[in-house]
Amino acid sequence: MENDTPKDNSKLNVVRAASRFGNPDAELVQMRPQLPMRTALMEASGIMGCITEITRKAIDRPGDRKVMMKATFYLAGMAKALIDGQLQQMRQAREGEGEA
């Protein structure tokens, strides 16, 4: 996931995680442009809480650990996409202020 961070000049409307599954054109997570920062961060926080809870359950249930850890991977990617989207918007806003 560390390599999925958008570059400054990229459009962040869609996160393309599907390429890992052999279908690079599929869109698993779709971002809404101009999502309010408070909403995005609240959602990311909620997702991180889910990751914490699933991780605790995985420790208690060794038989289900593999599927739970896979779920945390995808949830972490969703939270990261929300935060990256906010970073991209902040960068674009700063560039816009510099031009004005």
The pLDDT tens digits of the residues spanning 48-74 come to 999 999 999 999 998 999 999 999 988
Interhelix angle 65-99/37-60, rounded to 10 degrees, is 160
Place of tokens 């510099």: 98
**Annotated domain spans of the chain:** 2-99
Q: Which helix (H) or strand (E) holds 94?
A: helix 65-99
In angstroms, how far is CA 96 from the centroid of its own chain?
25
Which has more pLDDT, 28 or 93?
93
Dist. CA 12–CA 26, nearest whole Å: 15
